[in-house]
Chain A
Amino acid sequence: MGTRLNSTERRVLYLYGVTQLRPATPIVQVGVDLQSAVEAIGSEGVTCWVSRVSAEEFENSLAKNMENLDWLATASVAHQRAIQAISQHSDILPARFGTVFRDERSLADHIQKHLKQISRDFKRVKDADEWGIKIFESAPTPNPVPKVSSGKEYLMAKAALLPKKQPAQIPAEELKDFEGALSDIAEESAPAGRISSGQRGLLFQTSLLIKRANRQRLETALKKFSREWAETRRIECTGPWPPYSFVSQDSKPQ
């Protein structure tokens, strides 16, 4: 990222996702490489959302680039923004980060081969969004750092205010109640948090598929538990996300 594409450089199609509808007006949104536009390509009665990106950056060097945290951070935020912009217009089946095709023919062939599965997934995520739920151990009430005589003592006093690295577990009964309440509201749940599993004080996390009509019920349930746990735990809720965790996976990456 950061190297301007020249006109002779080979490009590939970076796929953001597939929608059933195509908006009447084009979506003006920068792509995952912060240079290319987000385009709509019709195929087999669905609309594929793509950008024409550098083959060197997103095909040959993708694995290496994903180990570059600056690159990964920038590209993943740009990927999310592009999909979020598309999802404002239509339910989207998001593609996995880093999915590229050599040309429009190969993309069309793929869509044609997976049309039944795509159709099933559209039904699965219809009128629904993904939501991320995390429960954290509450930080202790912040006390003023006591008077100290050295930098080391100051840091130790500050560290004592942080949640423990291995927090206490949520009692099984309470967790069961919480998960039961969410399962009444959500269509599905999925494991979450490959990246954030090491967050300090994190006790529990999940991703939920929630119909938009049930959003208020989710908020009400979370507020209820949050009040009950006011002294011990804190609930964080992010969303609405495109249904990243609720689309089919048809194979392992090659």
Chain B
Amino acid sequence: MSTPGTVVFADTNENDQLSLVDILDHVLNQGVIVRGNLVLSLAGVDLVYIGLDVILTSIETAMRHMNATSGLSDEAS
């Protein structure tokens, strides 16, 4: 819990400060959309209109994967 009257700053260079929800908010918000026959797959953003509570359950799994992967590890699973 932050002290009243202070801003909570979370630095994207310190990944442990960020919540997965914030990452998804920005990563999936927009971005360059490409078109034409050159593009084979585009993520349908509508697919991710999913409940926040459900997303939060994925945090632990995501972080476990990420922490198990440092650099180009051959052990990534």
B77–A2 CB distance below 8 A: yes
The verdict on A245 contacting B26 (CB below 8 Å), with A34-B65, A95-B32 known, is yes
Question: B35 to chain A: which residues have CB within 8 Å?
Answer: 250-251, 254
- A170 CB, min distance to chain B CBs, angstroms: 16
User: Which of A67, A106, A132, A235 lies in contact with B26, CB distance below 8 A?
Assistant: A132
- A9 CB, min distance to chain B CBs, angstroms: 16
In the bound assembly, the distance between CA atoms of A15 and B42 in angstroms comes to: 11
Interface centre among B2, B59, B65 (most CB of A within 10 A): B65
- A115 CB, min distance to chain B CBs, angstroms: 13
- B39 CB, min distance to chain A CBs, angstroms: 7
A74–B27 CB distance below 8 A: no
A63–B7 CB distance below 8 A: no
User: Which of B7, B11, B39 lies in contact with A254, CB distance below 8 A?
Assistant: B39
Chief secondary structure at chain A's binding surface: mixed
- A117 CB, min distance to chain B CBs, angstroms: 9
**B21-56 Cβ-contact flags toward A at 8 Å (1 or 0):** 111111111111111101111111101111110110
Question: A195 to chain B: which residues have CB within 8 Å?
Answer: 21, 24-25, 28, 48, 52, 55
**A221-254 Cβ-contact flags toward B at 8 Å (1 or 0):** 0110011011100111111110011011111111
A194–B49 CB distance below 8 A: yes
Interface presence of A130 (CB below 8 A)? yes
B58–A241 CB distance below 8 A: no
Interface presence of A11 (CB below 8 A)? no
Question: A240 to chain B: which residues have CB within 8 Å?
Answer: 11-13
Q: Which stretch from A79-87, A150-158, A173-181 is at the chain B interface?
A: A79-87
In residues 194-240 of chain A, which contact B (Cβ within 8 Å)? 194-196, 198-199, 207, 219, 222-223, 226-227, 229-231, 234-240
In the bound assembly, the distance between CA atoms of A107 and B76 in angstroms comes to: 28
**A64-93 Cβ-contact flags toward B at 8 Å (1 or 0):** 001101101110111111001000000001
Measured CB to CB, the nearest residue on chain B to A198 is B52
B29–A245 CB distance below 8 A: yes
In residues 92-118 of chain A, which contact B (Cβ within 8 Å)? 93-102, 106-107, 109-110, 113-114
Q: Which 3 A-B pairs have the closest CB atoms?
A: A98-B43, A96-B31, A230-B5
A-B contact pairs, 9 of them (CB 8 A): A63-B43, A66-B43, A74-B61, A110-B39, A194-B25, A207-B29, A223-B6, A247-B31, A248-B32
Chain A residues within CB distance 8 Å of chain B:
1-2, 12, 15, 17-18, 28-30, 34-35, 37, 58-60, 62-63, 66-67, 69-70, 72-74, 76-81, 84, 93-102, 106-107, 109-110, 113-114, 121, 130, 132, 138-139, 142, 190, 192-196, 198-199, 207, 219, 222-223, 226-227, 229-231, 234-241, 244-245, 247-254
